[in-house]
Amino acid sequence: MMKKICAITMARNDAFFLEHWIAYYGSLLGEENLYIYLDGTDQAIPANAGAAKVQHCERIPGQVVAAEKRRLTQLSKVAAELLNTYDLVIGTDADEFLVIDPALNESLPDYLSRCDIKVSLSGLGLDIGQNLNEEQTIDGTIPFLSQRSYAVVSSRYTKPVIVAKAVKWGAGFHRVKGHNFKIDKNLYLLHFGVFDLEMVKARFQDKDRMAAGWERHMKKRSKVISLVTQKKAKDGDRYFPIARMLQTICRPIFALNKPSMGRWKLVVKLPERFKKIII
């Protein structure tokens, strides 16, 4: 039996990714099952919002860490309420896309409907970068993965973004408090937030982000571009199972319900079939 699934996000000054988020999840779940919270009454409703439920919220003030905690507290409450109507809630940032391995030739909703999810489920985190030796500035009118072929396998993006019961997400959806995580062998969470150098530079011009303390955060995250440009990429299909096993075993001492890659900066070339993923 098909499960009823919705997706939620909160965004500010993120029109580019938010429109892609709506197009992607809307095509899979139906626009009417998308719940979008705009951080600030000054935010424009996306042009392609369609039947999505879009709500303006009062701006969440403060520095990035404190603001993120408040944001996820709010979204956790939203998800708990939605679970009275839906079987599953997918919660991601606007630049994150939960995908199923194209090898299965199955839709994400069909696959999730077959999964026995007690609390939450994670896909393997892939932080997509730009290889400056091979790849050009992104063209937003063409599918992303037809233009990008490399990623850092990142435990930071192995997030429990699919929930089947009311939980308290940690900041950034990185964990659910009081519960362990499970990494599905066929799911991936693709993060595109730093997949284009020119876009990263533009984000440093965003006064709101800089005022909230994002500069250090952005510099740290954008190192993925240097990694995929400079490191020799491993074969994704060979190393994905190794990464899942490592992340399951290796945990940060301060957060045993979060995965870790330790100090390993694993750069992979994405399998050719991933180019079929339309984002």
d(CA 52, CA 22): 8
3-state secondary structure of 111: helix
pLDDT at 213: 53
Q: Looking at residue 63, what is its pLDDT?
A: 54
213 versus 51: the higher-pLDDT residue is 51
Answer yes or no: is pLDDT of 279 > 60.
yes
Predicted TM-score of the model (pTM): 0.94
Q: How far apart are CA 14 and CA 208, in angstroms?
A: 11
DSSP 184: E
pLDDT above 90 for 54: yes
Q: In terms of pLDDT, which residue wins out, 126 or 255?
A: 126
Residue labelled with tokens 């630049």 = 95
d(C-alpha 92, C-alpha 97), whole Å: 7
Output the pLDDT for position 208. Answer: 58
Are 270 and 149 a contacting pair, CB within 8 Å? Answer: yes
Hey, what amino acid is at 25? Y
* Residue 69 binned pLDDT confidence (cut-offs 50, 70, 90): confident
Mean pLDDT, rounded, of the chain: 93
CA distances from 85 to 33, 52, 62, 88 (A): 11, 16, 33, 9
Using pLDDT thresholds of 50, 70 and 90, give the confidence band for residue 66: confident
Question: Could you name the CATH architecture of 5-276?
Answer: Alpha-Beta Complex (3.90)
